[in-house]
Structures are given as C-alpha cells and as structure tokens.
Amino acid sequence: MPYSAAQCQRLEPSDFVYLTIRQSAHVLHITLNRPHKRNAFDAVLSKELAYALCHARYNPAVWAVVLAAEGPVFCAGADLKAFAGMGDPDPGSKIPDPKEAPILGDLFRDLHKPCIARVHGDVFAGGFLMIGGCTHVLAAEGTRFGLPEVKRGIWPFQVMATLSELMPARQLLDWCMRGAILSAEEAQARGLVTEVVSADALDQRLEALVAEITAQSPSAIRLGLEAWYGMSEHPENERHRYLHAMLQKTLQTQDAQEGLAAFREKRAPVWKGE
C-alpha cells in the first residue's frame, strides 16, 4: 500500500479537494468530486483516493466502503492532459505524497473490505480500475460502459488486467479491440455490474445492500477477501493448504468466537470486527 497505517490514521474531510469523505457508522463513503473534468483521475485524485482507501483498510472501525461520484459522469478514466503535464494548477490538496505512485487496480484489490460502487453515470476507460476492483457494482438504468482507448491509438493495459478476473477472455479482448459501448444491462450480463436498478431506486437499494453486508462478520469478510486474492499467489496444489491456514486464522478472531457462542445460545451475534 502507498501509505502506512500510521500515515493515514487521520482522516480530515477538509484535506481533500477532489474527494468528498463521510463516515457513517462502520461505512466510509468516498465520492469522486471532480465533475468539471468528468471525474477523470489525475495525480491529485489518485493520491487522495489512495489515502482514503488505505485509511479504510487499516481502520478496524471501517467495515465497508461506498464509492460514488458527483456530476453526470461517474468517471471518464485518466486525465490524459494532466498526465502529459497540461493539467490544472495545484488545487490545494493537503494529502501527503505517497511513498510510491498509487496503482488504482492494486488499491482496490488490497482493500480486503467490501466496496460498493454506486454508479449513477457513465464509466469509461480507466474508470474500470475503480469499479472493476469493487466487490459490488450497482448501476442505474441508462448508464453506459465503454473502453474507447483503441479509438485513440491506445490500449487499456491496466484495465485489461482488472477485467480479466471478471470477464471471459474472448469477450474482453473483443471489447478492447472494438471499443464498443455497453448498456448497463449488457455490462451486467458480462459480469461487470452486480445489479441494474432505476435511478430513483439506486439509493434505496444501496442502503439495503450496505445494511445486509455490514450485518455479517467484518472479520470473516476481511479475511475471506484476503484469501480470495491470495489464492492466485499460490500454485494450485498448495491452495487448499493456504486456505486451511486462513481458516485457522479466522477461527482465532473474536468474531468467530462470538459467532459460535451466539449460535449455541440462539441469539444474534454482536460483531467487533476483531
């Protein structure tokens, strides 16, 4: 992670310029707030997002993350002008520089906590580094999803890696080569979207999903997500050994002990996230 636990312990919403940060109960709400650039990410937005996600990972009080956006477009991808040195002047972000350049795909992969994307508007190009790394994507009807890089003489290299875990290879390569625009329903059929709901019902469905997820053991979910991504780092003949070790680790948590006690005592568990 580009920030240590000590570096991102403090989370002050006024320090951010391109993100709106709000914590409600055990949920950290992160909202992209660069609508004048269609929420395209530059070095500042990437840095702020990295800081917020690192805080979410290391803070035991955060059990889930909600990712949303201001303006008509959820995310248009990378701000190519900014990365070419023609971006906006320093906007005054107070977030410290990371020890290394943030890689958005890795940030979401290493979060190890549920992350729900509230997609109210279109997603293009590098925006998939965000929603592709989320555990759930709720999309409003009428939203569009596109990979237009090839039309500009570019290839979606990092996006390809993120989406390869969600889509069949032939569908993904065809999409990268043709740069087609998908509807929300088509994106759902290809595994990019969890649910498609009407724009009016988006917040209500989000609230219900967050409540359902945070009612479960945060420790079990955190370690389960760690194991899900950790499996790929082990040869197939060693994965069961690795997962057995993760099970033993999970059984040592206070949540596991509480869950077993609640089952015996026929009562609802009280999770601590520890």
Which pairs count as long-range contacts for 226-233, CB under 8 Å and 24+ apart, including other chains?
A: 226/112, 229/109, 229/110, 229/112
Q: How far is CA 248 from CA 62, 225, 234, 252, 263, in A?
A: 23, 15, 18, 7, 19
What is the model's pLDDT at position 206? 98
Q: Strand 19-24 and strand 27-32: pairing?
A: antiparallel
What is the model's pLDDT at position 80? 79
What is the model's pLDDT at position 31? 98
Q: Are 37 and 79 in contact (CB under 8 A)?
A: yes
At the fourth CATH level, which superfamily is domain 13-214?
2-enoyl-CoA Hydratase; Chain A, domain 1 (3.90.226.10)
The strands making up 27-32's β-sheet, listed across from edge to edge, are 19-24, 27-32, 64-69, 115-119, 136-140, 195-197
What is the model's pLDDT at position 190? 95
CA 143, chain centre distance (Å) = 18
Low-confidence ranges of the chain (pLDDT < 70): 83-84, 86-87
Closest listed residue to residue 139, CA positions, set 166, 157, 120: 120
What is the model's pLDDT at position 231? 95
d(CA 176, CA 164): 11
Name the token pair of 202.
């988006």
What is the model's pLDDT at position 240? 97
d(CA 66, CA 115): 6
Helix pair 218-230, 254-265: axis angle to 10 deg: 130
What is the model's pLDDT at position 82? 73
- Mean pLDDT over the full length of the chain: 95
End-to-end CA, the chain: 21
Which run of H or E residues covers position 262?
A: helix 254-265
Closest listed residue to residue 137, CA positions, set 78, 77, 75: 75
Closest listed residue to residue 9, CA positions, set 46, 54, 63: 54
What is the model's pLDDT at position 81? 79
